[in-house]
């Protein structure tokens, strides 16, 4: 399908019991395995138990015989995956619901429900055992050896769940099944002498009405009367027993048939998912196989007609079209003869004198009977080589698979398949939804345009297509669908008629092989060219396998080059005008090589892509890891910050709490201690005072000798302590006196020291003043001398040596004493300086007292360090000032010295000696 881009079909055929259904299931499983994956394949496979339960029954030829045809169309996506499915069913054998031959069974589901339904469901539906239902009991066969109906029921309910049929719907389905069985148990009583009947209103009938949700009166009327329209009047006709039984059975059959169709519809809804995505599908056709029983009825007539149609399809594709193609393409071939069933098919389908046309025609006649029908057949078809009239109501048809004799009894009734309008109205009046759905679908069918003959009866019957016409139409549709696909035929061959393994009946097998044309197929496969492919397609498909380059790109040249390269023998293929034709198996070699090569290419591609993908993955992983580390780092940091804050907060809180606890504890202990102390002290004081009071009271308590003794010792102790305290007090007082004395001493010394300082300061002040006055006198005298010297400069330079350095002004102008006066003034200044120096040396050198205070030997209310600092500062200031004055005096004396010669040198020596020894 994927390769050729053409939808495919698998047509499975063979006799009843040959294995068609099993083969179809195997094919479905195979496709599900190939194209599964979405889960829908599981649902598709689960449709098999449902359809088998409702559409299969035990026949004399097959314990699990399909009583309907089935075409399952599996839809695939572009990639070859199953995307959905659709099931079409053909002609369910509904007569089996009300009637089955000895040793056969009705549909499996009835038995499965009766045996396998859970007790609650049984009770709810008022379900009885199989042998209590007339429809099931008539063939006297209730079970199949090796089959567990209860287990099968379980499988079916599971499958119903899988295809999404709800539990409520399932219960409604089971209710309809019980209603069908219940209808079979409805009996009638004759109510008048014209043999008119009415249903017995027993428990069974009431249960049917309850299960269908209809009024019991209406049910009784629908089963025993028929409304008819005669002219303009509506009349109600009472039914005879046989008519009532037919009406009852028709209702039961219709309900079952509609139920089957409804189930298929529900399954299709469930499988429809995604099927319209693509147009690709593979259809599997499993239609009832060719049947030939001892007594063959209308069902076998339809089934064998369907098989004739399929055989024609088979012949057409494998022989007709094949050989036509050989001719068209102009190849050499040997013609193969085959058994064409076209004549038999014509016997069925020809108009107006074919089996189906005559059947429909006879069915439309109100007076037509099975006998008139068979006579008509014999009258019109006796000349047909495929037809042979038999005695009474029978006739024989020469099918491709063999001759089959049909008994026309019931043909017309079954072909008409009429359901009285009253019954449809009854169904539509039901409260349960399933009967309502059935009624509307029946009405819809009868409203469809009628093709072919119609049966009209009394005007009140529903008009609908005959069963044969409908079936024929369905088969045509089916063939059309199959024509658009590439067919694949599976021929099932039955090894024996005993349904037993290990028995191989050669004659039976050979007959089947002959009948279904397998021998001709083998012959044509050997002599013909079953595989063919257009030149273009062949070149496109296998061209890439060519090792050498072909100059021409023409498809035929490429195709021939391929054939040569692979050494395909000339007798194994034929080159047609448009196609290449191959004998069996030849294309397989090419296909294998192609698959091998493609596989290798895919492997290389997968390795390369794998490598690429791995590289990409690694890169992605690295990126992800980096991103993750960033994100995690960020998160961790944030978390850490929060934790740290919390931790700090916790520590703070702990600190506070612990602090408070400890403070509280301490306070408690402290308070307790104070309390204890106060209590003890109070107690001691009280006791002490009590003792003293006791002692004072004297003889009042003298009789307690011990107590007195204790108290007297206590008193003695107290006295001793008092004495001790007094001695200590005396000691302290003496000490105090000494300290007082020392303090006085220090005070006196301090006042002495202060006096000294004061006097020293006064002296110093005085000296300063005298020094300043003498200094100003000296300056003045010097100024007078200078002016005199300046005025006499032109006369006598020696006069310049005159100094006014003394304090007295009486020296001015006395020439005789000019040299002696400055000298005496200078000597007086020097002596003053020397005196000042002596005094100051005493003052600044006497720091003994302060040192004593500092070392603690003496006490005084002063800071020795501060006093010493102050003394030093004073010394420094004096030293500076004294130095300046000395330098000044020195300069003056130097001037004087220059005038006086050697006498001055003596003074200078003295000066220098005095300065160098003292000022340091
Ligand atoms: N491949 C198989 N392997 C083993 N047993 C098989 C196989 N095919 C069929 N059978 C047996 O044959 C029986 C009948 O097979 P199946 O129901 O498929 O026949 P059929 O051709 O569909 O018959 P009908 O036309 O009546 O439906 C099965 O129940 C099974 O026991």
861 and 893 within one domain = yes
Nearest CA to ligand 1 atom 14: 17
Residue 102's domain is classified under what CATH number? 3.40.850.10
pLDDT at 88 (0 to 100): 92
Plot region of 584 (φ>0 → left; ψ -120 to 50 → alpha; else → beta): beta
- Cβ–Cβ under 8 Å, residues 48 and 91: no
Number of H helices, E strands in the chain: 30, 17
Residue 537 resides in a domain: yes
User: Ligand 1: distance of its center to the CA of 383 in Å?
Assistant: 38
pLDDT at 692 (0 to 100): 59
C-alpha Rg value of the chain to the nearest Å = 73
Above 60 in pLDDT, residue 805? no
Q: Which atom of ligand 1 is nearest to the CA of 18?
A: 21
Q: Which residues contact 325 (CB under 8 A, 6 or more apart)?
A: 532, 579
Above 90 in pLDDT, residue 843? no
Q: Which atom of ligand 1 is nearest to the CA of 291?
A: 25
Residue 546's domain is classified under what CATH number? 3.30.70.1590
310 and 184 within one domain = yes
Range 228-231 contact pairs with CB under 8 angstroms and sequence separation of 24 or more: 228/458, 228/459, 228/460, 229/458, 229/459, 229/460
Q: Considering only residues 869 and 185, tell me which one the structure prediction assigns the higher pLDDT.
A: 185
CA nearest neighbour of 421 among 655, 638, 222: 222
Query: What is the number of domains present in the chain?
Result: 4
User: Ligand 1: distance of its center to the CA of 18 in Å?
Assistant: 5
pLDDT at 802 (0 to 100): 39
What average pLDDT score do residues 688-716 get?
A: 61
What average pLDDT score do residues 761-783 get?
A: 75
65 ligand 1 Cβ < 6 A: yes
User: Ligand 1: distance of its center to the CA of 21 in Å?
Assistant: 6
User: Ligand 1: distance of its center to the CA of 280 in Å?
Assistant: 29
Give the CA-trace dihedral at 205, 208, 213, 216, to 10 degrees. -10
pLDDT at 709 (0 to 100): 59
Q: d(Cα 907, Cα 166) in Å, to the nearest integer?
A: 151
650 and 520 within one domain = no
679 and 802 within one domain = no
User: Ligand 1: distance of its center to the CA of 13 in Å?
Assistant: 12
User: Ligand 1: distance of its center to the CA of 505 in Å?
Assistant: 16
Nearest CA to ligand 1 atom 18: 19
- Region of poorest pLDDT, from 99-108, 268-277, 343-352, 664-673: 268-277
Above 50 in pLDDT, residue 796? no
Q: Which parts are annotated binding residues?
A: 14-21
In tens, the pLDDT along 545-574 reads: 888 777 677 888 889 888 888 888 888 888
300 ligand 1 Cβ < 6 A: no
User: Ligand 1: distance of its center to the CA of 585 in Å?
Assistant: 30
596 and 575 within one domain = no
Residue ranges with strand state E in 363-510: 387-389, 394-399, 402-407, 486-492
208 and 83 within one domain = yes
Range 659-668 contact pairs with CB under 8 angstroms and sequence separation of 24 or more: none
pLDDT at 774 (0 to 100): 73
621 and 566 within one domain = no
Residue 867 resides in a domain: yes
Range 759-767 contact pairs with CB under 8 angstroms and sequence separation of 24 or more: 760/839, 760/843, 763/839, 764/836, 764/839, 764/840, 764/843, 764/878, 767/832, 767/835, 767/836, 767/839
Residue 708 resides in a domain: no
66 ligand 1 Cβ < 6 A: yes
Q: Which residues pair with 284 in a beta bridge?
A: 10, 72
User: Ligand 1: distance of its center to the CA of 63 in Å?
Assistant: 9
Q: d(Cα 197, Cα 203) in Å, to the nearest integer?
A: 18
Q: How many other C-beta atoms lie within 10 A of the C-beta of residue 248?
A: 24
DSSP 555-610: HHHHHHHHHHHTT--GGGEEE-SSEEEE-TTHHHHHHHHHHHHHHHHHHHHHHHHH
Nearest CA to ligand 1 atom 10: 19
Give the CA-trace dihedral at 90, 95, 99, 100, to 10 degrees. -30
CA nearest neighbour of 859 among 738, 751, 748, 746: 746
Residue 363 resides in a domain: no
667 and 799 within one domain = no
116 ligand 1 Cβ < 6 A: no
188 to each of 213, 246, 782, how far by Cα in Å? 21, 12, 184
Q: Considering only residues 647 and 693, tell me which one the structure prediction assigns the higher pLDDT.
A: 647
289 ligand 1 Cβ < 6 A: yes
In tens, the pLDDT along 126-148 reads: 999 999 999 999 888 999 999 99
492 ligand 1 Cβ < 6 A: yes
Maximum mean pLDDT: which of 217-231, 355-369, 420-434, 612-626: 612-626
Q: Which atom of ligand 1 is nearest to the CA of 63?
A: 29
Above 70 in pLDDT, residue 492? yes
pLDDT at 583 (0 to 100): 85
User: Ligand 1: distance of its center to the CA of 406 in Å?
Assistant: 25
- Cβ–Cβ under 8 Å, residues 543 and 533: no
Alpha helices in 792-863 (DSSP H): 820-845, 848-855
23 to each of 18, 20, 218, 480, 629, how far by Cα in Å? 9, 5, 47, 23, 60
- Region of poorest pLDDT, from 24-28, 361-365, 911-915: 911-915
16 ligand 1 Cβ < 6 A: yes
784 and 696 within one domain = no
Mutate to test the pocket of ligand 1, among 10, 12, 19 (most ligand atoms within 8 A of CB): 19
pLDDT at 688 (0 to 100): 67
**Residue 11: pLDDT band with limits 50, 70, 90:** very high
Q: d(Cα 598, Cα 611) in Å, to the nearest integer?
A: 20
What average pLDDT score do residues 79-106 get?
A: 90
Residue ending a domain, among 673, 700, 727, is 700
Q: Which parts are annotated binding residues for ATP?
A: 14-21
pLDDT at 813 (0 to 100): 39
Q: Considering only residues 679 and 211, tell me which one the structure prediction assigns the higher pLDDT.
A: 211
Q: d(Cα 805, Cα 821) in Å, to the nearest integer?
A: 8
Nearest CA to ligand 1 atom 5: 19
22 ligand 1 Cβ < 6 A: yes
Above 50 in pLDDT, residue 479? yes
12 ligand 1 Cβ < 6 A: no
- Biggest alpha carbon distance in the chain? 214
280 and 152 within one domain = yes
- Strand, coil or helix: 65: strand
Q: d(Cα 623, Cα 203) in Å, to the nearest integer?
A: 79
What is the β-pairing status of strands 188-190 and 197-199? Answer: antiparallel
pLDDT at 916 (0 to 100): 45
- Strand, coil or helix: 698: helix
- Region of poorest pLDDT, from 52-66, 191-205, 449-463, 784-798: 449-463
pLDDT at 79 (0 to 100): 85
Above 70 in pLDDT, residue 704? no
> For residue 128, which phi and psi values (nearest 5 degrees)?
-110, 180
- Cβ–Cβ under 8 Å, residues 749 and 800: no
Q: Which atom of ligand 1 is nearest to the CA of 286?
A: 22
Above 90 in pLDDT, residue 207? yes
CA nearest neighbour of 860 among 761, 786, 752: 752
Q: Considering only residues 594 and 275, tell me which one the structure prediction assigns the higher pLDDT.
A: 594
User: Ligand 1: distance of its center to the CA of 724 in Å?
Assistant: 137
pLDDT at 775 (0 to 100): 72
- Region of poorest pLDDT, from 588-602, 871-885, 887-901, 902-916: 902-916
554 and 518 within one domain = no
Q: d(Cα 435, Cα 582) in Å, to the nearest integer?
A: 58
Above 90 in pLDDT, residue 255? yes
User: Ligand 1: distance of its center to the CA of 66 in Å?
Assistant: 10
Residue 734 resides in a domain: no
Nearest CA to ligand 1 atom 6: 19
**Residue 764: pLDDT band with limits 50, 70, 90:** confident
What is the β-pairing status of strands 65-66 and 69-76? Answer: unpaired
Residue ending a domain, among 700, 724, 754, is 700
Please give the span between the terminal C-alpha atoms of the chain, in angstroms, as a whole number: 135
130 ligand 1 Cβ < 6 A: no
897 ligand 1 Cβ < 6 A: no
- Cβ–Cβ under 8 Å, residues 122 and 109: no
State the residue range of the domain holding 824.
745-918
Nearest CA to ligand 1 atom 16: 19
CA nearest neighbour of 214 among 444, 443, 421, 436: 436
Mean pLDDT score across all residues of the chain: 83
Above 50 in pLDDT, residue 461? no
Mutate to test the pocket of ligand 1, among 10, 21, 300 (most ligand atoms within 8 A of CB): 21
Residue 509 resides in a domain: yes
Alpha helices in 132-273 (DSSP H): 134-137, 149-162, 167-184, 203-212, 216-224, 241-271
485 ligand 1 Cβ < 6 A: no
68 ligand 1 Cβ < 6 A: no
The ipTM value here is 0.98
Nearest CA to ligand 1 atom 8: 19
- Cβ–Cβ under 8 Å, residues 355 and 463: no
CA angle 124/126/132 to nearest 5° reads 155
Maximum mean pLDDT: which of 139-148, 739-748, 889-898: 139-148
User: Ligand 1: distance of its center to the CA of 291 in Å?
Assistant: 14
CA nearest neighbour of 55 among 295, 270, 303, 256: 256
**Residue 918: pLDDT band with limits 50, 70, 90:** very low
Maximum mean pLDDT: which of 60-64, 528-532, 785-789, 803-807: 60-64
62 ligand 1 Cβ < 6 A: yes
Q: d(Cα 556, Cα 105) in Å, to the nearest integer?
A: 61
CA angle 173/176/178 to nearest 5° reads 115
Nearest CA to ligand 1 atom 9: 19
Q: Which atom of ligand 1 is nearest to the CA of 19?
A: 18
Residue 613 resides in a domain: yes
CA nearest neighbour of 188 among 221, 158, 152: 221
Q: Considering only residues 30 and 888, tell me which one the structure prediction assigns the higher pLDDT.
A: 30
CA nearest neighbour of 161 among 55, 42, 52: 42
Above 60 in pLDDT, residue 904? no
DSSP 842-858: HHHH--HHHHHHHHTSS
Positions marked active-site: 16-17, 21, 62, 65-66, 289, 291
Q: d(Cα 745, Cα 752) in Å, to the nearest integer?
A: 10
512 ligand 1 Cβ < 6 A: no
In tens, the pLDDT along 109-125 reads: 999 999 999 999 999 99
Q: Considering only residues 54 and 517, tell me which one the structure prediction assigns the higher pLDDT.
A: 54
DSSP 292-314: --SSB-HHHHHHHHHHHHHHHHH
Q: Which residues contact 227 (CB under 8 A, 6 or more apart)?
A: 234, 235, 236, 237, 421, 422, 460
**CA–centroid distance for 370 within its chain:** 69
pTM of the model: 0.63
Above 60 in pLDDT, residue 462? no
pLDDT at 814 (0 to 100): 41
881 and 853 within one domain = yes
Assess whether the previous peptide bond of 352 is cis (omega < 30° from 0): yes
Residue 551 resides in a domain: yes
**Residue 49: pLDDT band with limits 50, 70, 90:** very high
Q: Which atom of ligand 1 is nearest to the CA of 14?
A: 21
Q: Which atom of ligand 1 is nearest to the CA of 61?
A: 26
CA nearest neighbour of 318 among 27, 574, 520: 520
Above 70 in pLDDT, residue 798? no
Q: d(Cα 666, Cα 406) in Å, to the nearest integer?
A: 122
Above 70 in pLDDT, residue 326? yes
Mutate to test the pocket of ligand 1, among 59, 61, 62 (most ligand atoms within 8 A of CB): 62
What average pLDDT score do residues 667-679 get?
A: 88
Above 80 in pLDDT, residue 797? no
281 ligand 1 Cβ < 6 A: no
17 ligand 1 Cβ < 6 A: yes
Mutate to test the pocket of ligand 1, among 10, 11, 13, 17 (most ligand atoms within 8 A of CB): 17
Q: d(Cα 342, Cα 639) in Å, to the nearest integer?
A: 90
């Amino acid at each position: 399908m994927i390769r050729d881009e053409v939808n495919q079909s698998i047509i499975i055929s063979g006799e009843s019991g040959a294995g068609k259904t099993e083969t179809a299931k195997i094919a479905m499983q195979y496709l599900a395995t190939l194209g599964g994956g979405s889960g829908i394949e599981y649902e598709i496979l689960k449709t098999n138990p449902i359809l088998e339960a409702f559409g299969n029954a035990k026949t004399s030829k097959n314990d699990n015989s399909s009583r309907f045809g089935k075409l399952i169309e599996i839809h695939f996506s572009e990639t070859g995956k199953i995307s959905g499915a659709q099931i079409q069913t053909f002609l369910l054998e509904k007569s089996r619901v009300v009637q089955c031959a000895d040793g056969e069974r009705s549909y499996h589901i009835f038995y499965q429900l009766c045996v396998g339904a859970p007790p609650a469901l049984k009770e709810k539906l008022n379900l009885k055992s199989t042998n209590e239902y007339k429809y099931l009991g008539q063939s006297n066969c209730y079970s199949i050896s090796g089959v567990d109906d209860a287990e099968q029921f379980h499988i079916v309910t599971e499958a119903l769940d899988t295809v999404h049929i709800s539990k409520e719907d399932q219960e409604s389905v089971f209710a309809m099944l019980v209603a069908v069985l219940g209808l079979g148990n409805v009996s009638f009583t004759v109510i008048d002498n014209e043999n008119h009947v009415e249903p017995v209103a027993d428990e069974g009938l009431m249960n049917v009405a309850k299960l269908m949700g209809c009024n019991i009166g209406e049910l009784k009327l629908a089963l025993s009367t028929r409304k008819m329209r005669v002219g303009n009047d509506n009349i109600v006709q009472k039914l005879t027993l046989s008519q009532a039984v037919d009406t009852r059975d028709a209702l039961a059959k219709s309900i079952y048939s509609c139920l089957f169709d409804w189930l298929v519809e529900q399954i299709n809804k469930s499988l429809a998912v995604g099927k319209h995505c693509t147009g690709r599908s593979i259809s599997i056709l499993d239609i009832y196989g060719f049947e030939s029983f001892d007594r063959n009825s209308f069902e076998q007539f339809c089934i064998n007609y369907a098989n004739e149609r399929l055989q024609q399809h088979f012949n057409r594709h494998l022989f007709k079209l094949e050989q036509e193609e050989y001719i068209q393409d102009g190849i050499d071939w040997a013609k193969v003869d085959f058994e064409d069933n076209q004549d038999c098919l014509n016997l069925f389908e020809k108009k107006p004198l074919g089996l189906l046309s005559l059947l429909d025609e006879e069915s439309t006649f109100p007076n037509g009977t099975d006998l008139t029908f068979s006579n008509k057949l014999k009258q019109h078809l006796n000349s047909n080589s495929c037809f042979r009239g038999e005695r009474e109501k029978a006739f024989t048809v020469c099918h491709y698979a063999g001759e089959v004799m049909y008994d026309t009894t019931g043909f017309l009734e079954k072909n008409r398949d009429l359901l009285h309008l009253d019954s449809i109205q009854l169904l539509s009046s039901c409260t349960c939804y399933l009967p309502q759905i059935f009624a509307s679908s029946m009405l819809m069918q009868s409203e469809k345009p009628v093709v072919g003959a119609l049966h009209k009866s009394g005007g009140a019957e529903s008009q609908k297509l005959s069963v044969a016409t409908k079936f024929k139409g369905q088969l045509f549709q089916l063939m059309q669908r199959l024509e658009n696909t590439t067919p694949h035929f599976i021929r099932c061959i039955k090894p024996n008629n005993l349904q037993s393994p290990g028995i191989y009946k050669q004659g039976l097998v050979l007959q089947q092989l002959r009948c279904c044309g397998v021998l001709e197929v083998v012959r044509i496969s050997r002599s013909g060219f079953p595989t063919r492919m257009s030149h273009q397609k062949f070149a496109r498909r296998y061209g890439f396998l060519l090792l050498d380059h072909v100059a021409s790109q023409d498809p035929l040249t490429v195709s021939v080059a391929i054939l040569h390269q692979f050494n395909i023998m000339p007798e194994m293929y034929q080159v047609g005008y448009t196609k290449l034709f191959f004998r069996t198996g030849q294309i397989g070699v090419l296909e294998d090589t192609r698959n091998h090569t493609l596989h290798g290419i895919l492997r290389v591609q997968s390795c390369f892509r794998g490598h690429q993908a791995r590289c990409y993955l690694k890169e992605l992983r690295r990126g992800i890891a980096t991103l993750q580390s960033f994100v995690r780092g960020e998160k961790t940091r944030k978390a850490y910050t929060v934790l740290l804050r919390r931790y700090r907060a916790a520590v703070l809180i702990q600190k506070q709490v612990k602090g408070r606890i400890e403070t509280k504890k301490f306070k408690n202990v402290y308070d307790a201690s104070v309390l204890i102390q106060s209590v003890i002290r109070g107690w001691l004081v009280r006791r002490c005072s009590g003792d003293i009071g006791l002692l004072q009271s004297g003889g009042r308590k003298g009789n307690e000798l011990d107590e007195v003794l204790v108290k007297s010792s206590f008193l003695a102790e107290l006295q001793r302590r008092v004495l001790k305290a007094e001695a200590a007090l005396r000691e302290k007082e003496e000490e105090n006196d000494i300290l007082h004395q020392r303090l006085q001493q220090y005070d006196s010394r301090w006042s002495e020291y202060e006096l000294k300082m004061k006097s020293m300061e006064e002296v110093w002040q005085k000296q300063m003043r005298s020094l300043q006055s003498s200094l100003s006198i000296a300056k003045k005298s010097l100024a007078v001398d200078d002016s005199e010297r300046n005025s006499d400069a032109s006369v006598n330079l020696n006069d310049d040596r005159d100094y006014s350095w003394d304090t007295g002004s009486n020296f001015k102008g006395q020439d005789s004493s000019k040299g002696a006066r400055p000298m005496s003034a200078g000597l007086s200044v020097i002596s003053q300086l020397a005196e000042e120096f002596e005094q100051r040396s005493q003052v600044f050198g006497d720091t003994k007292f302060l040192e004593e205070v500092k070392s603690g030997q003496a006490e005084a209310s002063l800071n020795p360090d501060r006093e010493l600092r102050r003394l030093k500062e004073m010394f420094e200031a004096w030293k500076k000032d004294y130095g300046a004055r000395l330098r000044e005096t020195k300069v003056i004396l130097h001037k004087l010295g220059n005038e006086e010669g050697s006498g001055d040198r003596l003074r200078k020596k003295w000066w220098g000696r005095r300065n160098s020894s003292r000022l340091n």
